[in-house]
Amino acid sequence: MIRIIIADDHAVVRTGLQLIFDTTPDLEISSECRNGNEFLQKIRETEHDVAILDVSMPGRDAIDVLKTARIMKPELPVIIFTMNPEDAWSIRFFKSGASAFINKETQPEILISAIRSVHRGKKYFTMSQMERMSTIISGNTKAPDENHEALTDREFQVMCLIAYGESSSVISKKLSVSKNTVSNHRNNILKKMNLKNNVDLTRYAIKNGVIS
């Protein structure tokens, strides 16, 4: 039996996954949590075989949660399960230690296959992810449309929060950094991406599928 911990702040998602796994003999939900801090506490206290982690939860940023989980439980494979656009997000999460990146609109069979695959110690890639990685390796990326790839993880986090309309005060609280640090990150982001202001940044994020 594969014991699964689910971290998602939407009860309807957790209930939906429970219904799916109830019909799958080798899968069971052993823990549920609603935010990153609860998730980290539960994997510290209880053993699980696979983790399913949502990106957009209250509190700590998902990339930070993933990196912390990889340090705490390096043997625990983490599947990112999200509505965020695959092209803009998947590679960044794979680089941060994710074993799979699955969109919530995918068929249940894909998620089940991913769970079984990562439980065997393998990474799971969808066809579109494999095609994208092949393109990057071959050097055929569309650089003008992928300026966000040059951002650090923290800068990427700040960019997304700005694009969603969050203020510097809110961003500083979410990421546990000072307003000055947020301002410095914003300036670095605009410079790296050759943008003028937050409006340009938001337009870029929407156009390139960083936010939806």
**Which tens digit of pLDDT belongs to each residue from 125-161?**
987 787 766 665 555 554 445 678 788 888 988 998 8
Name the residue among 121, 59, 133 with its Cα closest to residue 95.
Answer: 133
pLDDT tens digit sequence for 18-54: 999 999 999 999 999 999 999 999 999 999 999 999 9
Q: Using N-to-C axis directions, what is the helix angle for 153-163 and 168-175, rounded to 10°?
A: 140
- Which backbone phi and psi does 136 adopt, to 5 degrees? -65, -45
- 19's tokens: 């219904």
Stretch 169-196: mean pLDDT: 91
The DSSP code for 139 is: T
Q: What is the largest CA-CA distance in the chain?
A: 54
Alpha carbon of 19 to those of 85, 133, 138: distances in Å? 25, 33, 41
User: Using 50, 70 and 90 to split pLDDT, how confident is the model at 92?
Assistant: confident
Q: Give bridge partners of residue 32 from the DSSP assignment.
A: 6
Measured between alpha carbons, how far is 197 from 186 in angstroms, rounded to an integer?
9
The 10s digit of each residue's pLDDT in 98-128 is 999 999 988 999 999 999 999 999 999 987 7
